[in-house]
Homo-oligomer: A and B are copies of this chain.
């Protein structure tokens, strides 16, 4: 009798974004004339930039002629794209990577989820709280956890609370862990780790033979010069960290699908019999067997992001979003709302006014300001009492949203 993977039944039913959609729909059905502004889901809104569009079209045109046709590409991605990434995304940071250490994928969600395949189930995992839900759910699905308690914490996972009290910076776990998820700039809190903070983690990982999954999907939004863009800016990180990057937010690729993951050749794990074994080799084998490479025209488009022209154009779009972030952050702060983030990330993480719960504030914001955001509690128990607003949106909408909020709560 075919048995299902019972671990899926441990997942908590109400996924965040469907619940948001349900409440927004109920509201708009009841108030068809209300001009609702959506600053909830972290999805880009600006079109692809011209240099990327041109390369994308050229990639499609290559498939129109026998001489330039591309069938199966390397599962690990085309080396010309990996070369551009090494040269333009890492070399300027002082980080030298081989193309064999860079794996092109169809995006960060897949990468962060699939990464678990090459690790033994016995590894102890530490996850921030609040956090991007995929880290948690994929560990549940693969069978690393027990059931969730009433707070939503799964048995077997070490949670690292990130709140106002610790500046949203997780503390080093007291018990020994083998895998640590770090996301900087952080989704949802919008905070970014300093060099010193990352050094602590790298030192911890090396001392404990742990591996860091470093999710840097938002690194392009860093505006402060002293914030690292890559964990490999920290000495020794190549021996203990895998870095996940994406074109989704950097270049508006959420619908295009391209990302990459760095698995350094120096990164070693341990076999059952205590020998050292290369994670780069394992990941390459996994990729060869379970993936067929990202789409060829998409890889062409991704390479154009790092052309001089493309990068200048992409930077303009990022600046646009970060100006939105500034408008939200400053506007809400002036209205007396405590705000975090929004300086090195396109997310503003605010404390709900008057001690409201995250969902109460969600309802109030929707019903009275016609603005949709994301309740912090949806990202984990320590997100209760917080709320995420996204800077992805049109300027006019952002300005209207902020003035509606100021009107409601402003002094």
Question: Which A positions have Cβ atoms within 8 angstroms of B?
Answer: 1-6, 8-9, 11, 15, 41, 43-48, 53, 56-57, 60-61, 63-66, 69-73, 106-107, 109-110, 113-114, 117-120, 122-123, 133-134, 137-138, 141-142, 178-179, 208-211, 252, 254-257, 269-272, 277, 279, 282, 285-286, 288-298, 394
Question: In the complex the two chains form, what is the Cα distance from A72 to B106 in whole Å?
Answer: 13
Contacts of A117 in B (CB 8 A): 5, 141-142
Q: Is the pair B209, A1 in contact by a Cβ cutoff of 8 Å?
A: yes
Q: Is the pair B138, A290 in contact by a Cβ cutoff of 8 Å?
A: yes
A63-B41 CB under 8 A given contacts A255-B296, A257-B293, A296-B256? no
Q: Is the pair A66, B47 in contact by a Cβ cutoff of 8 Å?
A: yes
Identity of the chain B residue whose Cβ is nearest the Cβ of A1 in the assembled complex: B209
Further 11 A-B residue pairs, CB within 8 A, beyond A3-B122, A60-B60? A1-B210, A4-B120, A4-B282, A5-B117, A41-B72, A63-B255, A66-B394, A106-B106, A106-B257, A106-B292, A254-B292
Copies in the complex: 2
Question: In the complex the two chains form, what is the Cα distance from A253 to B394 in whole Å?
Answer: 35
Q: Is the pair B45, A63 in contact by a Cβ cutoff of 8 Å?
A: no
Question: In the complex the two chains form, what is the Cα distance from A134 to B290 in whole Å?
Answer: 7
Question: In the complex the two chains form, what is the Cα distance from A57 to B59 in whole Å?
Answer: 10
A-B contact list, 18 entries, CB within 8 Å: A1-B270, A2-B179, A2-B210, A2-B269, A4-B120, A4-B282, A45-B71, A47-B66, A56-B63, A69-B252, A72-B255, A110-B292, A134-B289, A257-B292, A257-B293, A257-B294, A295-B295, A297-B297
Question: In the complex the two chains form, what is the Cα distance from A198 to B179 in whole Å?
Answer: 46
Identity of the chain B residue whose Cβ is nearest the Cβ of A53 in the assembled complex: B64
User: Which of A11, A208, A210, A290: most chain B Cβ within 10 A?
Assistant: A290
